[in-house]
Structure 1
Amino acid sequence: MSISRSSSSRSSSSSALTPPAVVSRLRAAGCVFAEDEARLLISTAGTSAELAAMVDRRAAGLPLEHVLGWAEFCGLRVAVDAEVFVPRRRTEFLVRRAAGLTGPSAVVVDLCCGSGAVGVALAAALESAELYASDVDPAAVRCARRNVGAAGGQVFEGDLFEPLPAALRGRVDVLAANVPYVPTEEVEFLPPEARDHEPRVALDGGADGLDVLRRVAAQAPQWLAPGGSLLVETSERQAPYAVEAFARSGLVPEVAVSEELWATVVIGTRPVDA
């Protein structure tokens, strides 16, 4: 989706960007929730020129969160830079389940952290959490350092567990891994906002969507504390295969489903005596 206009026509339209005009422009561009988006854009823009530029970017197909520079997640405003994975509302279910598995002063790792939204939300829910995060994408790491750093945590750049401090081995109470789980051949069917503006590494999970999940499950027991848990989000049809991967690595698996958020989370707990 793209809109091409001359600079003169854009300038004349910018001066007429009343709230109804913003809604009309967004609706014409195919934004389903045009009224809600218009309110967010108007409240975020500092000047009329900034509002015009933001509306242009949104109408051209950029994700709303990239235009705003932030996303609402678990009641928090999380910074989201351009070309960084946008946290999904369904992932709030993973956060709620994770927060219910541990208590104050927990050691929390947000793997494949993207913006760091999951880790930040867990830190907000858990008193005195010790928070660490990692991602392989440099843009995500830069963004996450703003969010996670503000929550008192640390972010590392690298592949999965590789960049994490060795001292964390055997100490992690909650390992939240929002791994990519879209099968490679299905990435092209994602909405353009995701397919065209989010990093492929945050979406593509390999042939069956579970390549990264299996790698995380295989290594997780070395990092989890006894009784600690790994949580990943999958699709409903992938969940049985994720359960098999967790069980093979020695974790005790459980599947949790939220019909409200259309979310499926697979939880694997390291046995206390393991």
Structure 2
Amino acid sequence: MSGGIHPTAVVAKGAELAEGVTVGPFCVIGARVKIGPGTRLHSHVVVDGSTELGANNQVYPFAVLGGPPQHTAYKGEDTRLVVGDNNVIREHATMNLGTVNGGGVTRVGSNGFYMIESHVGHDCVVGDSVILTKQATLGGHCEIGDFVIVGGLAAVHQFTRVGRHAMIGGLAAVVKDVIPYGSVWGNHAHLEGLNLVGLKRRGFSRESINTLRAAYRLLFADEGTFQERLDDTIETYSDSPEVMEIIDFIRADANRPICLPEREV
């Protein structure tokens, strides 16, 4: 089936479906939903609330997009879920609307892969090319950078930030911010090093990777205070955009603790 609405689907009056949208058997679409061209809802998908899906998304059976936020303060306000283009959203995945106190919008980028039973909580801001593997969970208000991978059964605590290109290992419980390019694992999660496999796969040069490794060793060494090491890293590697991205991430919210190495680096 390519384009069109299956006769068993329920599409509420007021829903806006662009050209080429496919709505499979037993799907339910609410009145305030907007779906972009080429998006396919395979079957038994629920899209509700003020939800916008971009172009060419693939949504698999029993996914629920735009369900009410799982927050006791939510009283039915007209909050939103906005999802970009070219995402694959697999079976039983859930993405919730935002809350008034959290800004009112949950945002999910483009080119992502959201595996079975993964969850994006209310008011999250999720970047592009993100992968949530089986049963990976984002609590409310999380900020997830581009190219982040969250391993199976891992959970990211509410309000946590995860920088670009970071890797979260399976079963990790992430309660502190994760630096860009970092790799964390454990309960509670700690830095294991840099996401070297991901950096190589995405075409970072050997020079850039070596610079990141040297800066990482300096930043998380045992000598001196963390502020002193931060200043030394800035002075030594100020011409590296990747290193400065880590520095800017740490400085952006000084009130949030970051994941640190569990052992000497």
Structure 1-normalised TM-score?
0.26
**Structure number with higher helix proportion:** 1
**Structure number with higher strand proportion:** 2
Structure 2-normalised TM-score?
0.27
